[in-house]
Structure 1
């Protein structure tokens, strides 16, 4: 008798188990189908109260399974509906930081009005006065709300004003390298660039394998001859801390009464203009070629220099050319048109079409 009971129990367990598996497969199918249907619907679905009540009725006893099943609305939203319906809605704690006291906000506005300080300096002054309850972002947001600049107003002695005052006669130089293919493998070829901050005009040296002291001095002298022949003014030359800017190199400029300024350590932004040009010539020209020697690098740099000055618009110059072509009257050409035919446009190419520029066909 006992054996029969055991068999019945085992049989019921098998049947129950198979039923659970079948139901699980059905639920999985319905979930997949529901997800497909949901993807066809708009991002937000507005439910009626009757539809909400229906969801609440079936969701009450689902427990944590609701997290996997709910798709039309977020599971936490359904739980809020359930609490509201049952009358057991709990008070949620007020989130976020309390609003800054009115007197403190007035003090921040007064400091901003009376001084040229930025929000960090104002925060320091508040800390000195014993106000510890405000944060950096609080001061910043109060300044924005009251239409004050969040950054300090730059005084005449600050770096950006110095750059603006001397941009016309200030040049920056930078030495960059390019990997080239040789019989012995990959080698570095070096190029020295000088750039004027105001006009963005550049002088590019010939390439070399060995940028030794003699070569650097030779390029300095060639640059000075270039500025004189082009009637370009150079009174300040900035450079980084590379050891190749030796005393004989700097002496060439001192002889011409040109002040040389070495940048501070770990401050690459000080010579950002010329470094940006080095990045431009690499990305737009040198990196697109397999280079086979210093003569090849010099040719690529020369061609890009012509393109850079005479054919490439510059955002920093309001998309104007550095050197505009002259018209027949000897004046710089340029006109405004409302429409133009494609047949009137011609394309100039350099380096096998790698560098392109466009102009209007002559009338």
Structure 2
């Protein structure tokens, strides 16, 4: 073999070794978290960095018994309008069946060359979107999602090594996403998408322990929808459920990256704010309260739109706190004061 040929072979195997090392590190990263949203973001960013593309998106199952894949909102680069965002992919579609039989990274142009798939609406949709590669995610012997990549920044073709890399990445990602989704199902209230009570209690204890060890701040918000029983009696429980969902969205949308928005029980929601001072907690309480006050919810029964207000109580960790109960009781007392001194306000706990 010529020296040039030897150099090519050496370079090829060096790249193989590098890719394997990268996949090992990626596998560690994917298995180090059960945070569903964070995990999806990690997977998409890995694609951008490793494959030199500006466009990456994932279609996953939104619910346990879903028959469709839907776009995850953390997509990168693709110009996706409202119509495209709502586009759902049936799990029993011809293209998904094709990918299930050949679970590997596949160029869209190769799919377009298959007569029975040419007119598949999903294939047409991806073509219009500017997708170049479709990669099925797999877990427990079935396709549990799709990874979509756009063209490379260099405008060059995807190499076979890169397609192999994507296939392996997708198999790792499929398992990681499935594990994270199962964990989320166990820790998230299905109606409101807030964390459940036992998760809230566990994380609050962890954060209080961290405060004791490191001297950091911690603030807790308790919220309650004003006169919710009267609201339910007036408009019915279906309207009440819609309002709970919309109020929960305000907490989720306003909560910071490291905050924990949870459902304490009934219409009582809370936010755990690691590292936050009482002043920052008050500012958060006011943001949430004002966003709920300005919120207009369509009445599921027809008729007039629905409006509610929120009362908020704030407490902050102090070194005398022995358990979750201490911090919770102070937030609850502040909330009681907010509700019994006019409602629709944020009050920080002050010792009597």
TM-score, normalising length from structure 1?
0.25
